[in-house]
Amino acid sequence: MEYIRVSSIEDPLFTKLHNLMKDVFPPEEVLEFDLWKEPLEDPGIRVFVAVHEDEVVGVTEYRYYPDWNIAMTDFTIVGKPGLSLGRFLANKRMEDLQSLAGEKGVELFGMFAEIYDPYQKKDHDFGGVKTMDPYVRREVLSHLGYKRLDLEYVHPSWENDGEAVEGLDLCFMPADDHTVELPAALISDFLTTYYSVLENKPEKWLKMVDQLTKKDTVALLPL
């Protein structure tokens, strides 16, 4: 298995990657093909594929924010069973992130992720790919160490239509298991930066971020 970075929409691996995304994710979670040009060329956005027998069988996209020493997992796709893909992608991603943090002379503080809550919303079948079942993924991410932030979470649709996407939790995987809360300012600053590319923010999202600016901390709860 190879772990290969994709940094151009001209790369044949990107076509395979994008097709896999469309097969797995709902439309509002998938950026249009041509709109990937700038993100892929952005050195801060890291898109890697797992290639097995010339086939893209897994994908992970993530970012490292050196100013905060945190990362964000945009998405992970385990597209084929029986290859230990989840472990492969998680390990390779963490090796890369720890290397980036090491360049700054620090250990990674932790990583954000948006995680579907199938107990809220049950209509995500993820293209029938059983390895992407939201119940399974939620438990796997819990095993990895992710914890749920204590807030009612929505995010702007990636279709940039001003709609709020619900049915997810914003979670954080601290490097230190004893971390029980995060500064609210870190969360609001991160979300504002992360979604700055989308011009049309839903009212629910704006209200959520505004409420964060009025808090000191947000608790991390079991996932």
Q: Please, what are the domains in the chain? A: 2-221 (3.40.630.30)
E strand or H helix at 182, and its extent? strand 181-183
Beta-bridge partners for 174: 110
Report the range of poorest mean pLDDT among 74-78, 152-156, 181-185: 74-78
**Using CA atoms, how far apart are residues 75 and 21, in angstroms rounded to an integer?**
10
Q: Which of 106, 92, 209, 197 is nearest to 151 (CA)?
A: 209
Q: Which of 82, 46, 91, 37 is nearest to 64 (CA)?
A: 46
pLDDT digit string (tens) for 42-74?
988 999 999 999 999 999 999 999 999 999 999
Average pLDDT, the chain: 90
**Global pTM value:** 0.86
Radius of gyration of the chain from its Cα atoms, rounded to whole angstroms: 17
**How far is CA 6 from each of CA 11, 85, 97, 193, rounded to the nearest angstrom?**
7, 18, 16, 23
pLDDT of the residue at 132: 65
Task: Flag whether pLDDT at 216 surpasses 90.
Answer: yes
pLDDT of the residue at 30: 82
Task: Flag whether pLDDT at 136 surpasses 80.
Answer: no
Q: Where are the alpha helices (DSSP H) in 43-127?
A: 85-103
Specify the 3-state DSSP secondary structure of 144: helix
Tokens of 126: 């993820």
Which amino acid is located at 164 in the chain? A
Count of all residues that appear for the chain in the document: 223
DSSP 36-47: GHHHHH-TTEEE
Q: How many CB atoms lie within 10 A of CB 27?
A: 10
pLDDT of the residue at 125: 54
Mean pLDDT of 73-88: 89
Tokens of 101: 């943090």
pLDDT of the residue at 122: 59
Band (pLDDT 50/70/90 cuts) for residue 24 is: confident
Band (pLDDT 50/70/90 cuts) for residue 29 is: confident
Q: Which of 124, 140, 44 is nearest to 90 (CA)?
A: 140
Task: Flag whether pLDDT at 81 surpasses 90.
Answer: no
pLDDT digit string (tens) for 102-124?
999 999 999 999 988 877 765 55
**Using CA atoms, how far apart are residues 50 and 180, in angstroms rounded to an integer?**
33
**Using CA atoms, how far apart are residues 133 and 120, in angstroms rounded to an integer?**
14
Mean pLDDT of 166-190: 95
